[in-house]
């Protein structure tokens, strides 16, 4: 899947299916409202995607998100239904991109299903071991998100996994605060909400624009602002930032990428009164 924005070209890098508890993914939304959209399996999990993006500009190759990575035991893989741990590097290779060709990486936040692929390690690699997979890439991340990954808040302890301390002494970290254009046409917009350091990535290639929503709007099912997740640190902040950025996306007729949607294709967001819908194709 490819989208040409003008000076930026975007490829979707599906990093494989994984599964989380359906009730947790839909927070306060009653099951009869969501189970028709996302059918839970016998373990009450719903199948989702991990749709990373590769953005290429004249002077850079930027990876946005990285899937769950490879640091899983067989048991953990089965628990989370992680289908293709090696998909990230294989899909990049299919586009002719080796890890050392990636000049920049970013992530909406560093939970394991977003930042996991930024780390090396196989199977049962201990939490403290492993390294950065993209060893030449500048890591563009909100400073408070890195702090949370290194010292996770108790509420989200299980969501940050791996030796994130590596980032601090790698010389590859470029901490961002708030909203900043970090590369020509690439703007990181701090949102908070899901985590204190969560950000959305806005792309503007002149001819067209796109928003990558991370876990602010994980799937098109989550377009209603009140459809927050049990995993969100600050659900009311998610609601208000979601409304604000979906408004902006609709006003600009920008494309929208939903990281966890089983359908990895970009959509256009339409607004009908207070209701948002996603139109694909």
Chain residues binding Zn ion by CB under 5 A are 113, 215
Radius of gyration of the chain measured on its C-alpha atoms? 17
Distance in Å, CB of 98 to Zn ion, minimum: 26
Identity of the residue, 51 or 125, whose beta carbon is nearer to Zn ion in the bound complex: 51
The Cα–Cα gap between 278 and 48 comes to: 17
Shortest Cβ 38–Zn ion spacing (Å): 14
Decide: 113 and 77 in contact? Cβ < 8 Å. no
Distances 211 to 7, 35, 149, 188, 252 between C-alpha atoms, Å: 16, 27, 24, 10, 10
Instruction: Write down the least CB distance from residue 33 to Zn ion, Å.
Output: 21
CB 227 within 8 A of CB 268: no
Measured in residues, the chain has a length of 281
- Residue 38 · residue 166 · CB < 8 Å: no
Rounded to a whole number of angstroms, the minimum distance from the CB of residue 130 to Zn ion is 20
Is residue 260 within 8 Å of 275, Cβ to Cβ? no
Report residue 118 CA to chain centroid gap: 12
How far is it, in rounded angstroms, from Cα 75 to Cα 166? Answer: 26
Closest to Zn ion by CB, 50 or 125: 50
Looking at the Cβ atoms of 193 and 205, the one nearer to Zn ion is 193
Q: How far is the CB of 237 from Zn ion (least distance, A)?
A: 16
Query: Minimum Å distance from CB 113 to Zn ion?
Result: 4
Residue 22 or 57 having the CB closest to Zn ion: 22
| 137 versus 216: smaller Cβ distance to Zn ion | 216
Q: What are phi and psi of 68, to 5 degrees?
A: -85, -15
Nearer to Zn ion, 111 or 209 (CB): 111
């Amino acid at each position: 899947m490819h989208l040409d924005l003008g000076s930026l070209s975007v490829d979707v890098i599906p990093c494989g299916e994984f599964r989380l508890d359906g009730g947790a993914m839909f927070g306060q939304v009653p099951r009869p409202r969501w189970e028709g959209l996302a059918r839970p399996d016998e373990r009450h999990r719903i199948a989702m995607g991990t749709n990373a993006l590769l953005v290429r500009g004249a002077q850079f190759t930027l990876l946005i998100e990285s899937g769950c990575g490879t640091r899983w035991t067989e048991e953990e893989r089965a628990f989370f239904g992680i289908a293709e741990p090696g998909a990230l590097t294989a899909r990049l290779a299919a586009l002719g991109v080796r890890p050392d060709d990636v000049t920049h990486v970013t992530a909406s936040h560093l939970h394991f299903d977003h930042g996991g692929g930024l780390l090396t390690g196989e199977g049962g690699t201990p939490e403290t071991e492993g390294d950065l997979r993209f060893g030449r890439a500048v890591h563009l991340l909100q400073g408070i998100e890195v702090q949370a990954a290194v010292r996770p808040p108790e509420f989200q302890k299980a969501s940050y996994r791996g030796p994130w301390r590596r980032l601090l002494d790698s010389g590859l970290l470029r901490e961002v605060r708030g909203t900043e254009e970090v590369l020509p046409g690439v703007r990181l917009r701090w949102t908070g909400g899901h985590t204190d350091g969560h950000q959305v990535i806005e792309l503007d290639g002149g001819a067209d624009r796109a928003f990558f929503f991370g876990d602010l709007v994980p799937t098109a099912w989550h377009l209603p602002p009140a459809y927050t997740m049990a995993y969100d640190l600050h659900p009311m902040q998610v609601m208000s930032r979601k409304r604000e950025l979906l408004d902006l996306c609709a006003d600009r007729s920008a494309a929208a990428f939903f990281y966890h949607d089983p359908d990895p294709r970009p959509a256009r967001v339409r607004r009908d009164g207070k209701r948002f819908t996603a139109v694909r194709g």
